[in-house]
Chains A and B, each alone.
Chain A
Amino acid sequence: MKKDKNKISQSAQSVSSEKINVTKEMFVSIKEGSLDAEAIKRPSLSYWKDAARRFTKNPIAIIATVLLAIIIIFAIFAPILSPFTYDENNWAISNQSPSVEHPFGTDNLGRDLWVRCWEGARVSLTIGVLVAFVNATIGILYGGISGFVGKALDNVMMRICEVVGAVPQMLWVTILVIILRPGFMPIVIALSATGWIGMARLFRGQVFQIKELEFVMASKSLGTGSIWIIFKHLVPNAMSPIITSMAFAIPGAIFAEAFLSYIGLGLPLPLASWGNLASNGANVFLTYPYQLIYPSLLICVTMLCFTLIGDALRDALDPRMRT
């Protein structure tokens, strides 16, 4: 605030210090009533258009989005276009350093790491997105019902959240993966089993604020059902924190998958994920550092993109952040 005032006074000074000859020709007389003071000069923007405008104006957000898009495109096409497959062993070329033929080198079984890294990208990104969506859906339903019905039900449902949330999430995940046996779906299920609690709490808080508003009362008096109100009125109005929290949930799930790989509960080989590539690479890091560096680099860049996009989304979606 203080800075702005300084700026204004400075610019005022600089204007007054210049000598301008004001002549009569510089003025144009206007007939009274010819200007429509009520007219809206700027095009009207919906909330989402406004948010999109602010997001695209943010150069960091654009760079992160482009980078992420490149990673996704490589994840889709690199395994298809490469002459190698992610599970093809070739003992003759084990542990080769990066070369033209194998840009990321090969692992101890002679599998091409370029293909494995992008195959891993497919798996890790799918896990991340799937978990974020499942968590959001369960969380919205649970938090929505809890917040919308309120009273005793809310009390009971939040107590359940408290009990489940009291145990460190990775412990639940570990036990569930042990029960379900390591694999793609078990990991998704395990990460979703308790991951929705954060979203449920967040959405419940939003519901408590929104459900008191008049348009919800209007809808209620027309006899609308609870589920309809939750999805038609409450979710759209709570969309910005939901989207922001999902943008941060995706890298969280990718991290968690990597964690599971490190403690021996990741995807079974020869399946590839960034987690098990990094964890296998770590074992041979001193002799073949590239086997850890490439997958970790991909993880880091992806995390960075999601963090930056999440930050930009938060700024773009929250009108209070408008500058």
Chain B
Amino acid sequence: MLKYTLKRFISLILTLFLIATLTFFLMNAVPGDPFALDRDTPQVIRDALNQKYGLDKPVFERYLIYMGNLLKGDFGMSMKFKGQSVVDKVATTMPISAMVGLGGVLVGVLIGVIFGIVAALNNGKTFDFIVIIAAIVGVSIPNFVFATLFQRFFGVTLNVLPVFGYKGLLYLVLPIFAAAMQNIAFYARMLRSSMLDVMNQDYIMTAKSKGLTRKSVIFRHTLRNSLLPLVTSFGPMIAGVLTGNFVIEKIFGIPGIGNAMIMAIQGSDYMMIMGLTIMFSFITVVMYFIVDVLYGVVDPRIRIS
């Protein structure tokens, strides 16, 4: 186990290094001068700004400085907002994004799994049919459509929930559900098919022949084994928790990390874009690492291969 974790850890460090390098040189390829705004900035001021941000040095020297700073936990400063560092920005926006993201996943998994189970148990009946149709339609509707419809329906027509900004937990209800809709559809479909798959296995027949109660067969034998594909889907989903909600955050005006990224993009705040990208990637890679190690704990076969 220790050897496996160590191996994964070395690969993690290597990945982080390569991502940072790649992002740095990609951002360097962005054409134009970050200080050439729509206003005419005098050359003297531009030179001073370039010097302040170290942009007058050769690329490779800047790369070494940036990597050194990363090692010290300094992801750079905003070029548009004085004194705002990337790390500060992430620290203030991350918790809000995490609430929306994790909320969306939890609500999605919970409701989706329940729908999937009930549909599988009613295989071939009306409820099953409704769930299949709803799930396929649900996957086909982009989350920005759900978000806008929710805003209109709950915020304007019913006027029961706040639709914009963030001044309390109530402001997160609609974004979480908007983010959850596709998850609900996805997990309902997945769990339904995996339940049906397991229900056809021989060990379920054995369990039934042993005379176990229906409840026991469903919960102890069918459900437990049906949940395995759910566990494997967690890895990719964690990446989606962070980046998948850019649009939701923008529509609902949630001051999360996605919104910060959009603002940085629209304001050509290159240092912020670069810092946030590297930060995003680091978080994702570290999450994958944790999930991988946990898999190794859960399933010994993975450690060996």
Q: Among A166, A174, A278, A279, point to the contact of B285 (Cβ < 8 A).
A: A166
Does A72 lie at the interface of the complex (its beta carbon under 8 Å from any beta carbon of B)?
no
Of B11, B18, B23, B142, which is within 8 A of A296 by CB? B142
* Known A263-B262, A296-B145, A300-B140; contact A181-B247, beta-carbon cutoff 8 A: no
Q: Are A166 and B31 in contact (CB under 8 A)?
A: no
A175 within 8 A of partner (CB) = yes
- Chain A residues with Cβ below 8 Å from B11 are 162
Q: Are A292 and B281 in contact (CB under 8 A)?
A: no
> What's the Cα separation between A308 and B139 when bound, in Å?
11
Write the B163-176 contact mask toward A (1 if CB under 8 angstroms, else 0).
Answer: 00000000000000
Partner of A278, one of B31, B144, B281: B144
CA A205 – CA B136 in complex, angstroms? Answer: 28
Does the CB pair A300–B288 fall under 8 Å? no
Query: In terms of DSSP, what is the predominant structure of the interface of chain B?
Result: helix
A183 within 8 A of B: no
Please give me the residue from chain B that is nearest to A311 by CB atom.
B136
Q: A285: nearest residue on chain B (CB-CB)?
A: B148
Q: Are B156 and A255 in contact (CB under 8 A)?
A: no
Question: When A168-B242, A168-B243, A262-B247 are in contact, do A163 and B15 touch as well, CB less than 8 Å?
Answer: yes
B77 is an interface residue with CB less than 8 A from chain A: no
Shortest C-beta distance, A254 to chain B (Å), equals 9
User: Quick one: closest B residue to A297, CB to CB?
Assistant: B145
Chain A, interface size category, equals 35 or more
Bound Cα distance A35, B224 (Å):
54
Q: Is A243 an interface residue (CB 8 A)?
A: no
Min CB–CB distance B252 → chain A (angstroms)? 12
Q: A171-B281, A175-B23 are in contact. Are A264 and B266 (CB under 8 A)?
A: yes
- A255 & B136 in contact (Cβ 8 Å cutoff): no
* Minimum CB–CB distance for A24 against chain B, Å: 45
Contact B142 A176 (CB under 8 A): no
The verdict on B27 contacting chain A, using a C-beta distance below 8 Å, is yes
CB-nearest residue of chain B to A304: B140
- The verdict on B200 contacting chain A, using a C-beta distance below 8 Å, is yes
Least distance between A118 CB and chain B CB atoms (Å)? 19
A286 x B152 contact (CB < 8 A): yes
Question: Do A307 and B139 touch (CB < 8 A)?
Answer: yes
Residues of B within 8 A of A258 (CB): 142, 144
Q: Judge if A259 is at the interface, Cβ distance under 8 Å.
A: yes
> A271: shortest Cβ distance to chain B, in Å?
19
Which residues of B have CB within 8 Å of A163?
14-15, 18-19, 22
Say yes or no: B30 contacts A179, CB within 8 Å.
yes
Q: Mark B251-281, 1 if CB is under 8 A from A, else 0.
A: 1000000000110011000000100010011
Closest approach, in angstroms, between the C-beta of B265 and any C-beta of chain A?
Answer: 6
What residues of A have a CB within 8 angstroms of the CB of B251 in the complex? 262, 282
Distance A166 CA – B288 CA, assembled complex (angstroms):
8
B158, chain A: closest CB distance, angstroms: 14
B1 within 8 A of A: no
Q: Contacts A1-B200, A178-B265, A262-B144 given: A168-B280 contact, CB under 8 Å?
A: yes
**Chain A contact surface mostly:** helix
- Complex Cα distance, B23 from A259, in Å, reads 21
Q: Which of B150-207 contact A (CB under 8 A)?
A: 151-152, 156, 200
CB interface residues, A 142-180, toward B, < 8 Å: 162-163, 166-168, 170-171, 174-176, 178-179
A234 within 8 A of B: no
Per-residue CB proximity of A195-209 to B under 8 Å, as 1/0?
000000000000000
Q: Report A-chain residues with C-beta under 8 Å of the C-beta of B261.
A: 174, 263
What's the minimum C-beta distance from B31 to chain A, rounded to whole angstroms? Answer: 7
B6 within 8 A of A: no
Contacts of A296 in B (CB 8 A): 141-142, 145
**Can you name 27 A-B residue pairings with CB atoms under 8 Å?**
A163-B18, A166-B19, A166-B284, A166-B288, A167-B277, A167-B280, A167-B281, A167-B284, A170-B246, A171-B277, A175-B23, A179-B31, A251-B140, A259-B247, A263-B246, A263-B261, A264-B262, A264-B265, A279-B144, A282-B251, A285-B148, A292-B145, A300-B137, A301-B140, A304-B136, A307-B139, A311-B136
- A166-B285, A262-B250, A263-B246 are known contacts; what are 12 more A-B pairs with Cβ within 8 Å? A167-B277, A262-B251, A263-B262, A264-B262, A264-B265, A292-B148, A300-B141, A301-B140, A303-B139, A303-B141, A304-B136, A307-B139
Query: A residues near B, CB below 8 A?
Result: 1, 162-163, 166-168, 170-171, 174-176, 178-179, 181, 251, 255, 258-259, 262-265, 278-279, 282, 285-286, 289, 292, 296, 299-301, 303-304, 307-308, 311
